[in-house]
């Protein structure tokens, strides 16, 4: 009997599969397709201090082996998440959840993280310093070691739960930024967020996305994600959540061999609402095929 469980900063997950923020909402719609309690956890919709309508439409562009999105952090705001979404979530998810927090200032990050840290349902806080969809938000914080470390320090001062910093791949040296976050007190790292991409409607002679550019995700980015997870996990001593193009049990295992302790599944949820369920169900057979008894044994096994 194989063992799929992993430990993420003291949080035991039955398996390493976590739906990524921005692709799973608050889980309610997906609970109509399957029992969400089979998940390791899930990262809910990126939350800001104030409600956000998001970017103008169209927000989605299809690509070969992926898609570009420019949703723009549409969310109901921290008060509604705490007062409405988390209480509703108790009806269909009975494990600690991951809270994804975004911000447009250090004060906003501090405020939202302090508020969400007090919520019993939240087991881990994921701080997004890397969203490429908002003109003056997360991307600016995640593109230099100094600014990423500043956010990390500010958030750690007001939280008691593990804080994971979600890193952008749209940088020259992701390892330098990862190390800066670790030195500033981060409990873990999540990578990668989306790459910056663009599509053009050649008939209309204009960008497909109303915001011109957006976050490119899907299977096409998987090799980039594996490479960056490998580099960061070798350079840092804190846990890494791997994300980017994961769409199968085989991809989960590959990401873990690169150094990830857990793995987030993003765009695959938009293509197939049962993607995470199918990945979890396929994991034991894939482990047996590869002679893996415990997933925890393969974390960072590639030297």
Query: Which residues are part of the catalytic machinery?
Result: 131
Q: How far apart are CA 38 and CA 33, in angstroms?
A: 12
Retrieve residue 194's tokens: 């989306």
Report the distance separating Cα 72 and Cα 194, nearest Å.
13
Partners of residue 188 on adjacent β-strands: 164
SS3 263: strand
DSSP state of 14: S
Residue 290 burial by Cβ neighbours in a 10 Å radius (0-12, 13-18, 19+)? exposed
Which among 166, 262, 214 is positioned nearest to 67, based on CA atoms? Answer: 214
Write the CB contacts of 226 (distance below 8 Å, at least 6 apart in sequence): 242, 244, 254, 255, 258
CA distance 13 to 5: 6
R_g of the chain, CA atoms, integer Å? 18
Alpha-carbon distance of 284 to 157, in angstroms, equals 40
């Amino acid at each position: 009997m194989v063992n799929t469980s992993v430990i993420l900063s003291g949080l035991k997950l039955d398996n390493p599969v976590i739906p990524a923020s921005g692709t799973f909402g608050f889980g309610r719609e997906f609970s109509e397709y399957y029992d969400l309690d089979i998940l390791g956890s899930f990262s809910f919709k990126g939350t800001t201090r104030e409600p956000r309508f998001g970017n103008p439409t169209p927000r989605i562009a299809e690509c070969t082996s992926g898609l570009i999105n420019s949703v723009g952090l549409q969310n109901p705001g921290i008060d509604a998440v705490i007062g409405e979404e988390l209480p509703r979530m108790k009806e269909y998810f009975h494990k600690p959840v991951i809270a994804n927090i975004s911000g447009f200032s250090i004060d906003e990050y501090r405020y939202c993280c302090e508020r969400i840290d007090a919520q019993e349902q939240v087991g881990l806080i994921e701080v997004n310093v890397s969203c490429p969809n908002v003109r003056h938000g997360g991307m600016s914080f995640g593109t230099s070691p100094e600014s990423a470390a500043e956010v990390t320090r500010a958030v750690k001062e007001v939280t008691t739960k593990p804080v994971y910093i979600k890193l952008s791949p749209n940088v020259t040296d992701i390892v330098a930024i990862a190390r800066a976050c670790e030195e500033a007190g981060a409990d873990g790292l999540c990578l990668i967020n989306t790459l910056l991409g663009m599509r053009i409607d050649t008939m209309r002679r204009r960008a497909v996305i109303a915001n011109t550019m957006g976050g490119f995700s899907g299977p096409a980015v998987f090799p980039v994600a594996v490479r960056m997870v490998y580099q960061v996990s070798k350079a840092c001593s804190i846990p890494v959540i791997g994300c980017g193009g994961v769409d199968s049990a085989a991809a989960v295992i590959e990401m873990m061999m690169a150094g990830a302790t857990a793995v987030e599944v993003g765009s695959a949820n938009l293509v197939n609402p049962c993607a995470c369920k199918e990945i979890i169900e396929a994991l034991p057979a894939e482990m047996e095929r590869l002679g893996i008894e415990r997933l925890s044994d393969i974390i960072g096994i590639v030297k």
